[in-house]
Amino acid sequence: MILDPLVVVLASAGLFWCSRALLQRTLYGDLLYYVPQLQNSGLPQTVTTSHPRLARSWHSSLAQSCFSICFVECCVLFAMLMCQGFGLLTPQTRLYSWRASLLLLLVTIIIVMPASFCMVLTYRTEVPSVFNLRAMTILFPVASFVFFLSFIPLPVGLMSHNPLMINTARLVVLGTTILGLLSGLGSVNGAWSAFVRQTHIASLASVRSSETALERARSDLSERTRQLDEYSASQLQVGESWVSRLTSKRDKHRESLEQEIVGLRAFESQMTSRIATLRRRQETAEFTESFRGKWLGRIWAVYCVCRVCSSAINLLSPPSSTTASASYGDAIAHVLAYLLSLLPLDGARGTPGIDIASLSRQISLVLVGVIIFSSIRAVLMNVMRVFRITSRSMSASLMLLLLAQLMGIYLLSTVVQLRTMFPPSFNPGAPEDATEANILSTLPEYSLFGGLFDWSFLLGATGCVFARWVGGYFEDEEDM
């Protein structure tokens, strides 16, 4: 009995350590690389943001820890579902591990994430203290978030007074709205990029001219640095009199060289990020113009359009029964689920086949995840524009916290959808402990949130279409 919980705890600790190590080497480093490209739209950049010591600052460790906690707890939830399906571990161990992971995930998303976001925005250089007055002000945004979260209306069909299920349902309501908005934004962007020809494509001449300017800036920077070193060495050889030290006479030539070096370093940093952005856009344009890129883009655009139409159809013709209300999805996902059901994947003869409605919801959720992933760069860029963060490590920490928030909400919605695919079976003749040990019974039904997703999806798509139309209108006015 003690061995099973110990295995779960040790596996969670090992996964947390591996996640931290992987984040430090890959994802966080990639975010540090992409920060100048995301901030390349007119935001000022400081030349002090490229020190490697900032990668080990306290806010980067905090962001990596929050991301790792969300990832580990979501993995534990999926692992407990698999253990229940294969009959591994004891029912009590699965249930306690499930509740502990779900509770820790909710606390991380609702309390720890907003507090960490406020801490990164509030503090700059000093390490925050728990007993500091400024640290206490972080509790006000967290308390406000929890207060407004408590006013989120619960679904009408939710018949439970369990605090864990109620908070999970409220968070799923908020997460479904956010995911719907992001999905609508990504769908319109995907269809727009495939059917509307891009006019702002970096040419090879612009890339070469930028590279020439960068080489010239680096040459000037090296020359000014050499001049400053030679001037400093000559001043040390000549020496200063005690009268000049008392009067603190300013060396205008030294200050001029130092200011010029600072400006050249800032220009070099901006040109480096600009060249990286131009090369990325050129590679994207070349892939888009290729045969494979055209067909993949058009197929994806057709799916995005079908997803918008499916959401509109679901709202215009809602299902009449509660069983059909769980079948929200899109037509392409239903077709893919039907094709998969034709494969010889059934077990022994006499076993029930694949549930097409449940499988289509899982396929639709995976495709929605792809849509969200395709639009996540635009979301991160807008976040950086709102907060106008110039520190590279601090911007990477904020993006990592935002990614952790979205990942936790998305995976939690995925777990809730698994209840519709593998519903808990209640046997009247089974003992009460066996019914209570079913971990799927602690989740609300996803059919209660289908209409909310469609409404938020259409709202995000409509807002993105309006923004695209307004942006194109003003571009036409500027061209005229």
What's the pLDDT tens digit per position in 93-111?
888 888 888 889 888 888 8
Question: Looking at the domain assignment, is residue 219 inside a domain?
Answer: yes
pLDDT at 342: 81
Question: Looking at the domain assignment, is residue 280 inside a domain?
Answer: yes
Question: Looking at the domain assignment, is residue 268 inside a domain?
Answer: yes
Token couple for 103? 């509770």
99/165 Cα distance (integer angstroms) = 10
216/334 Cα distance (integer angstroms) = 58
pLDDT exceeds 80 at position 259:
yes
Look at 325 and 228; give whichever has higher pLDDT: 228
What letter represents residue 51's amino acid?
H
Its domain, for residue 281, covers 204-237+252-289
List Cβ<8 Å contacts ≥24 apart for 117-122: 117/398, 117/401, 118/142, 119/59, 119/62, 120/59, 120/62, 120/63, 120/394, 120/397, 120/398, 120/401, 121/387, 121/398
pLDDT at 255: 82
71/407 Cα distance (integer angstroms) = 8
Question: Looking at the domain assignment, is residue 229 inside a domain?
Answer: yes
pLDDT at 478: 42
Q: Judge contact between 32 and 396, C-beta under 8 A.
A: yes
| Phi, psi values for residue 347, rounded to 5° | -85, -135
- Average pLDDT (205-226) is 85
328/457 Cα distance (integer angstroms) = 13
| CA neighbor of 183 nearest in space, from 330, 76, 6 | 330
405/299 Cα distance (integer angstroms) = 30
Give the three-class secondary structure for 268.
helix
What are the distances in angstroms from CA 144 to CA 115, 147, 151? 11, 5, 11
- pLDDT mean across residues, the chain: 73
Q: Considering its fold, how many domains does the chain have in total?
A: 1
- Average pLDDT (49-57) is 46
- The CB-side HSE value for 326 (13 A sphere, CA atoms) comes to 20
* 36: Cβ contacts below 8 Å, ≥ 6 apart: 45, 269, 270, 272, 273, 276, 392
User: Residue 346 — pLDDT band, cuts 50, 70, 90?
Assistant: low
CA dihedral 104, 82, 4, 74 (to 10 degrees): -20
What are the distances in angstroms from CA 277 to CA 210, 289, 376, 398? 11, 18, 17, 21
Question: Looking at the domain assignment, is residue 112 inside a domain?
Answer: no
Question: Looking at the domain assignment, is residue 208 inside a domain?
Answer: yes
User: Residue 90 — pLDDT band, cuts 50, 70, 90?
Assistant: confident
Look at 245 and 237; give whichever has higher pLDDT: 237
324/121 Cα distance (integer angstroms) = 46
Question: Looking at the domain assignment, is residue 269 inside a domain?
Answer: yes
| CA neighbor of 166 nearest in space, from 155, 176, 177, 175 | 155
Q: Judge contact between 410 and 372, C-beta under 8 A.
A: yes
pTM of the full structure: 0.69
User: Residue 12 — pLDDT band, cuts 50, 70, 90?
Assistant: confident
Question: Looking at the domain assignment, is residue 456 inside a domain?
Answer: no
- The CB-side HSE value for 27 (13 A sphere, CA atoms) comes to 17
pLDDT at 192: 78
- Average pLDDT (148-155) is 78
- Residue 47 DSSP one-character state: T
pLDDT at 467: 83
Token couple for 353? 């086949």
- Average pLDDT (409-427) is 67
